[in-house]
Amino acid sequence: MSADPLHRAGTPQRLPTSPPTAGPGASAIEVRRSTRRRRTVSAYREGDRTVVLIPARMSEAEEQRWVNVMLDKLAAQESKRVLGDTELAGRAERLSAQYLEGRARPDSVRWVTNQNTRWGSCTPAEGSIRLSHRLQGMPEYVVDYVLLHELAHLLVPGHGPRFWRLLDAYPRTERARGYLEGVVAAERLPHVPGARGQ
């Protein structure tokens, strides 16, 4: 594996970068192509921007695929840091401001260990949101989706069209739902004695 040209002495030669992109709820993404980089792809956070470093020869399709891979990898690394209840409440406030015009204002947001069949719950009358401890360690976009789902219930109690319209603003709704469905499906698989990791 070749060394990262940004960490070598001297100034690395780079092709012009792709302009930073941003969508609703996504931090800016800047792709930097390097003629010195042959095979490796890396990414890091730089303030509110994500920088993805790729070889100059990559096609646009490969670039997009690797950007998605690296965003998921960074999210997984970041999610290993367990959020406390105070951080969870702050995150809920930011998500409400970003996707629900600040209209969802919970009185309490906390982790609980007694929810093993649901990812989260909301009691609108009390303004309380509880997230299952099973979400800890999952990618941030998944935790954000469940939190936003419960915030939306402060505004719309059921799962009708009005509720789902609120979640349409979150760009990773379908991906997060697919991730959670995969976790549930994996839990239902039969236990095979002697299987790897057992």
CA angle 99, 79, 186 (to 5 degrees): 95
Q: What is the pLDDT of residues 56-74, one digit of tens each?
A: 999 999 999 999 998 888 8
- Longest C-alpha distance within the chain, in Å? 61
Q: Rg of the chain's alpha carbons, rounded to an integer?
A: 20
- pLDDT confidence bin for 177, thresholds 50/70/90: very high
| Cα dist from 68 to 43, 99, 113, whole Å | 11, 22, 32
Q: What is the pTM of this model?
A: 0.59
Cα atoms found within 13 Å of the Cα of residue 55, Cβ hemisphere only: 11
Mean pLDDT of the chain: 81
Cα atoms found within 13 Å of the Cα of residue 115, Cβ hemisphere only: 16
* 106 burial type by CB count under 10 A (0-12 exposed, 13-18 middle, 19+ buried): buried
- Are 98 and 25 spatial neighbours (Cβ–Cβ below 8 Å)? yes
Whether the per-residue pLDDT at 1 is higher than 50: the answer is no
Least confident residue range of 18-22, 87-91, 101-105, 115-119? 18-22
Percent of the chain residues topping a pLDDT of 70: 79
Q: What is the pLDDT of residues 124-136, one digit of tens each?
A: 999 999 999 989 8
